[in-house]
Structure 1
Amino acid sequence: MGEYRAIKTIKLDEVFQFCDHYDSEPLSLSSSALKVVTDFTRRQPQVIMKDVDVDHALYMMINGHVRSKLVIDHDDTFLGVITAKDLTGRKVLATAQKKSLGRADLTVEDMMTKRFELQAMPYRLVESAKIGDVVETLQDIGQQHVLLVDDKGALRGMISASDIARALHMPVNILEKARSFKSIFEIIHDREELDA
């Protein structure tokens, strides 16, 4: 790291207030949805290879301060999405037991939400939508994030409930929707763990 240098810091003992002017207006549910889009034309998507083991994947997410990554194979083909929640708790143990594997043998591919299970929105519709419309969509589909596709059918971006919550400085609660009896059990069990 010889080409970089530490920037000199100063003490804050005589600093008591914020500057007088903010560059942007505060966001609200009525603000443009584009304000909370992670646009892959401007920022490279967070990706992870399908064969990374679950412990290493979780380590990468925690140290990268991200909650989800797009899963790809060695040809850069999009396969699905993995979240930090997918890599912890009951789902990992249940998958290990089902596949007769130890936790250390599980990979991202074993735990990810597959592409065909995900929902997406056309980017062109997001351009005229409000943040509140996106929150309503996330609640409707019962997912923490939604992918965006361009007119050519390529992944253009993503919007997550956590990004919206950070931007609005308020909680955004999205309740997962169960798609099977097993999903109902997992959702109830996860909520009981949160309440404990």
Structure 2
Amino acid sequence: MIRTIAFDVGETLVRDDRYWASWADWLHVPRHTVSALVGAVVARGQDNAEALRLIQPGIDIPAAYQAREDAGRGEYLDETDLYEDVRPALAALRESGVRVVIVGNQTVKAAELLRDLDLPADLIATSGEWGVAKPDLEFFERLVVEACAAAEEILYVGDHPQNDVYPARAAGLRTAHLRRGPWGYLWAQDPELVAAADYRVDSLMDLVAVAER
């Protein structure tokens, strides 16, 4: 029985358009360049931050992040960053009696921005707050504790096989792969992913039927 559904953030609930566009503007390169490089490093199996290092070798990403914040050009989220199915799906899941948790690899500030959106969720947290990030097993162990449910009663939903589906499954959680965003589309038909995911969905609304079953 699924008691808790936990959601990744980037390209699951929130579009990454603004995030990468802001880095492109900060580094004075075309936005398409950053988008293409992010896709290239992901296809290589590298962390997407490597795209920034290709543009500016030796970049100190935390220092650059803080410089952007100090310049008033830091992280920002509003309603337009959410995918259209987020609010109705999360609300429907809570109405069905499922506990809704939002937790992904984001900064402390991102957690504050997500909470400011007043989403229909029982818990919002980020790796920046927990001090551990996916795909580390400790991240999912912390999720189990915070969810107040057994691992097999938690469904983790995300677009990224290596950060979401595989490590969540290894931690004993049930998994749903969302075919959304570059990572979701890139690996959607990968045989290993197909075998690993308990559910494969194209919309968060598909999870309502999963919860009701």
Give the number of the structure whose alpha-carbon radius of gyration is greater. 1
TM tier relative to shorter chain: under 0.3
